[in-house]
A and B are shown apart, each in its own frame.
Chain A
Amino acid sequence: MIIEHIDAQLPGIVTDRHDFRGDQTIVVAAENLLAVVDLIHREGFQLLVDITAVDWPQRPSIQGSGAAGRFDVVYHWLNLASQERLRVKVPVADGGTVPTLTGQFKTADWYEREVFDLFGIRFDGHPNMKRLLTWDDFPGHPLRKDFPLDGGDVFCMEGCTAPFNNGERNQER
């Protein structure tokens, strides 16, 4: 139902959609995300349930176009009045950015930090884009598919600049 509203008010913005097991899903480009969020926020989707991402390292080569990008940033919304759920997926290339939602949803703050921490996707305009779960000097982004399961380097100290590792703490922060 909400998808028809989006289609009517923002025609052509939804690039893909599916409805697997009753989960309505739309795909929008990163530059259109804020327009969609504005609309669905007005339509009553006020509980931002979750932000996460999925890594598809093979995808650009499969689809042949650079538009798709390596990652999907996945948002889940819940409409408290109608109990409708909506999943919005935003494809983003490695090194690309997604606009932050911290302006509308305070809960986006930590979720976006977590996605940055685990996937290395940056959010444009986020007030505090720092790692959430791992530490500042952690090498790499663990939930990327090319990150080894055992962490690779057992002490995770490669490139570490903490004082106990023969270097100064990163000053640029």
Chain B
Amino acid sequence: MESIAMTRQQLDGDKMIVNMGPSHPTTHGTLRIILELQGETITKATPEIGYLHRGVEKLGENLSYQQFIPLTDRLNYCSSIMNNVGYTTAVEKLLGIQIPKRAQQIRVLVSELARIADHLVCVGVNAVDIGAFTAFLYLFRQRETIYDLFEMAAGQRLHTSFTRIGGLFRDLPEGFVPLCERFLVECEESIDEMERLLTRNPIWHDRTKGIGAISPEDAVNWGYTGPCLRAAGVPQDLRKAQPYLGYETYDFDIPIGTTGDVFDRYLVRTEEMRQSLRIIRQVLDRLEPGPVMIDDPKVALPSKEKVYTRMESLIHHFKLIMHGMDMPVGEVYSATEAANGELGFYIVSDGGKNPYRIRVRPPCLPIFSSFEDQVKGGLIADAVAVLGAMNIIAGELDR
């Protein structure tokens, strides 16, 4: 890290050091980039991260498996439900259990809603950073509806903590499905409106085409996943490639780009939103009644009613809270396709109540590590566009 005092000494010739962040409006969270400029051209960019480091992995070693779920909300806080799903899927892999069908379907449903919310924020805010404010307003109306749906389902808008190991915290309430149906129609219209504002807008083209372009080989080498990798032309989506939660039974397409620039990332995200709407439609059509929690007293907490009336349930409740689940000794890595890319959880268990080691593999860390490569030689205004299209969420970047 260069301190400000050092950068002053380095001021010579036309070189100028601009300190972007840690609380710059376009960094969307606390991250700092030290830019070295020659005129308006970037000659060096040094990202500095860690401003939002909360020691999530250290905390996880001292919390039980269930207690870690609220911490996953705070990773990618734009789509926290997907982190809940990713984490509980990993623990279920460690336990070797299968969750009920309805729980899987609802997890897919809320994950795709969260994916839309995340992409809406990413695209909308990226446009705002570049100067197109209007699209953002159309999009945010839909995000509001998604958060209303989350509030109905989980009781919380942002920090949902909706899943539990072995299923879900509760079933969808009445009124959820009708609102979701209405959302499907309105969101489609909003995406159309947004596309009319941006997709063929010459100013948008000037600002995004060729900016942050990356070859497929480089993207893989940098560890890209998610929309940024697909925009570069690599059709890698874990929902298709390594299906989980029954994704193989849904009919949807994987959009890919060609150049990997900001414009392609925008197009990929836009199309992914439409595909997510398709998946939600299919989930709503096939949603069947049933339990949303696994029927295994060694994993699932018994209902309060049973705890108060049955001795056995009371014992199970006590054992689960005090001693935790019976965890096998071993290590698993489980990855899900989150909105930003591959969200991985690597859990090492020594058989105890708490994980021995829990590692979160955030999708945007490797993407952000290529930032200097992406903006070098470009203009400072392009750095803002690239940063927005990478969709850096400091919560999962720093953990």
Interface residues of A (CB under 8 A from B): 20-21, 23, 25, 46-50, 52, 54-55, 74, 76, 80, 83, 85, 87, 105-107, 109-111, 114, 118, 130-136, 142-143, 147, 149, 169
Contact = CB atoms under 8 A, between A and B. Distances in A.
Contacts of A83: 241-242
A20 B242 CA distance: 18
Interface string B357-399: 1010100011001100100000000000000000000000011
Residue in B96, B218, B241, B359 with the greatest tally of chain A CB atoms within 10 Å: B359
Contacts of A131: 50
B93 to A, nearest CB: 6
Interface residues of B, number: 43
3 closest cross-chain pairs (CB), A and B:
A107-B223, A133-B50, A110-B369
A154 to B, nearest CB: 14
A11 B366 CA distance: 33
Contacts of B196: none
B271 interface: no
Interface stretch (B81-89, B303-311, B326-334): B326-334
B53 A134 contact: yes
12 contacts: A49-B225, A50-B344, A83-B242, A87-B331, A107-B223, A110-B369, A132-B50, A133-B49, A133-B50, A143-B58, A147-B58, A149-B62
A80 B332 contact: no
Given A131-B50, A136-B1, A149-B59, 17 more contacts: A21-B96, A21-B332, A23-B333, A49-B225, A49-B361, A52-B359, A74-B346, A87-B331, A106-B218, A106-B373, A109-B369, A111-B365, A133-B49, A134-B50, A135-B1, A142-B55, A142-B58
Contact of A169 (B3, B50, B346): B3
B236 A49 contact: no
A54 B221 CA distance: 24
Nearest to B223: A107
Q: B346, B366, B373 — which one has the most chain A CB atoms within 10 A of its CB? A: B366
Contact of B223 (A49, A74, A149): A49
Contacts of A143: 57-58
Interface in B327-357: 330-333, 335, 342, 344, 346, 348, 356-357
B315 interface: no
Contacts of B3: 169
